[in-house]
Amino acid sequence: MNWSKLQTGIVIWVDVDPEVIITRINGTDRPLLQTENPLQTLKNILDDRRSRYEQADVHITVTETMTEQETVNAVCRAVHEFIDKNPPAWQKAKAKAQSEGLDWVK
């Protein structure tokens, strides 16, 4: 994983239990999971990467019962909330300029 590249944008951790992942990817050919025990391999990968994942800007926990659409909605909602709480620097500068009476700033 190229963490430095990820840090140039909003990083989202879509957190799904390994058992749910195994069920959902059944029948696919995932190269890293071509092992004797794919579930254990997936758990090991998660354990190895957890400290990085925990640094994500947005954390979405996906449950077994969530549909794809519900997952997408949760991600969109969380990203909007993150942006609202962490506006880009230009928005902060614009708001500051306007609060200081620079009415030409639109």
The reply to whether the predicted model has a pTM over 0.95 is no
Q: Is 17's pLDDT higher than 70? A: yes
Q: Is residue 89 part of a domain?
A: yes
User: What domain range includes position 67?
Assistant: 3-99
Helix/strand/coil for 17: coil
Q: How many domains does the chain have?
A: 1
Q: Is residue 42 part of a domain?
A: yes
The pLDDT score that the predictor gives to residue 33 is 93
Cα 40–45–49 angle (5° rounding)? 150
Q: Which DSSP state fits 103?
A: T
pLDDT per position as a tens digit, 54-93: 999 999 999 999 999 999 999 999 999 999 898 777 777 8
Tokens 């190229």: give the residue: 2
The pLDDT score that the predictor gives to residue 27 is 87
The pLDDT score that the predictor gives to residue 101 is 78
Q: Is residue 104 part of a domain?
A: no
Q: Which DSSP state fits 91?
A: H
The pLDDT score that the predictor gives to residue 47 is 97
Between CA 76 and CA 58 the distance in angstroms is: 10
Average pLDDT over residues 17-39: 94
Instruction: Give me the CATH number covering residue 18.
Output: 3.40.50.300
Q: Is residue 16 part of a domain?
A: yes
Q: Is residue 106 part of a domain?
A: no
* Mean pLDDT rounded to a whole number for the chain: 89
Answer for the pair 78, 60: CB distance below 8 angstroms, yes or no. Answer: yes
